[in-house]
Chain A
């Protein structure tokens, strides 16, 4: 089988049955933003904005390089943003502006007098 045939037959998530390294029994306690990201996924599902299968497909659509290099919840949040763009619910410029605003809360707050949103 050629290398390109493999790419056609196996999308990035479709790894069942492939050979791989030994299992490393790793685990970590979720970062606060990771837990919020997980809760966001559930809430998006409750509201039928993004369901589980759309989420999985959204991760797969990131392509093999991003699937390989981003962490689990990094893949999720990027996939959510892309799906929301594709559905016309948010525009990329909305997210860019909001991210600049979020960053400014921290860069304008070096004295420690926090004006940041409560963070869980």
Chain B
């Protein structure tokens, strides 16, 4: 997750972005009040929020992309990843699953296209992809992905052939999913790093396929 600031020195000064005249908004003050009360009562540590923000900032789709690229080049790794996503990410990539969830990796094939959603809220494989985009958390995607996935995919410019089954996986508080997209043709000579550069967040949600430009050109 990128910093929202235009500079990257350590921050200990108030920012203009806090609102008009530097005065924080109601919910900002509510968050500050709740957090400070919990710290005063020693229910949480003073440094824990800062440290968890560092953890959140360290998790981006680039981590998921490395895992996908490894699965493409190493069949034994792919088999272990599909058998136990969490344990394999922990063992091979040192990923800490800070939110105590299991991970199921869903392999796209020429017969099956997988799509992930959380109809009830916003569950997402955050330890390996970072935080979900706003549209993933909003009503249209949550409501419609499970009932008309082809129409939803079409809104992302993705058309899945009729003879390919679409499987939609509804996440829960305990079970999270990640799509293992198909490796595109023409990448036989690519290194693992070059392959990882093709893998974007949305390909691991399942709303778009991998493209050779890494999704940089609008389709």
Q: Which residues of B contact A40 (CB under 8 A)?
A: 31, 34-35, 44, 49
Q: Nearest A residue to B53 by beta-carbon distance?
A: A39
Give chain A's interface residue range (CB within 8 Å of chain B).
35 or more
- In whole Å, how far is B206's beta carbon from the nearest beta carbon of chain A? 13
Tell me if B137 and A30 are in contact (CB < 8 A). Answer: no
Tell me if B170 and A94 are in contact (CB < 8 A). Answer: no
Residue B167 CB within 8 A of the other chain: no
Tell me if A30 and B27 are in contact (CB < 8 A). Answer: no
Cα separation A7 to B48 with both chains bound (whole Å): 40
Tell me if B131 and A20 are in contact (CB < 8 A). Answer: no
Cβ contact of B142, chosen from A15, A29, A110, cutoff 8 A: A15
Q: Nearest A residue to B145 by beta-carbon distance?
A: A16
Q: How many chain B residues touch the partner (CB < 8 A)?
A: 66
Quick one: given A16-B119, A39-B56, A47-B43, are A80 and B34 in contact (CB under 8 Å)? yes
Tell me if B34 and A95 are in contact (CB < 8 A). Answer: yes
Which of A16, A22, A101 counts the most chain B CB atoms within 10 A?
A16
The 6 closest A-B pairs by CB, nearest first: A16-B119, A98-B33, A39-B52, A33-B28, A52-B173, A20-B143
Contacts A17-B143, A17-B146, A77-B31 given; 18 further ones with Cβ under 8 A? A15-B142, A16-B170, A19-B143, A24-B135, A26-B133, A30-B1, A31-B17, A36-B49, A39-B49, A45-B99, A45-B100, A77-B27, A99-B32, A102-B29, A106-B22, A106-B24, A110-B21, A114-B13
Which residues of A are at the interface with B, using a C-beta cutoff of 8 A? 13-33, 35-40, 42-47, 49, 51-53, 56, 59, 72-74, 77-78, 80-81, 84, 89-90, 94-95, 98-99, 101-103, 106-107, 109-110, 114, 116-120
6 sampled A-B residue pairs with Cβ under 8 A: A16-B119, A21-B139, A84-B38, A94-B37, A99-B30, A119-B11
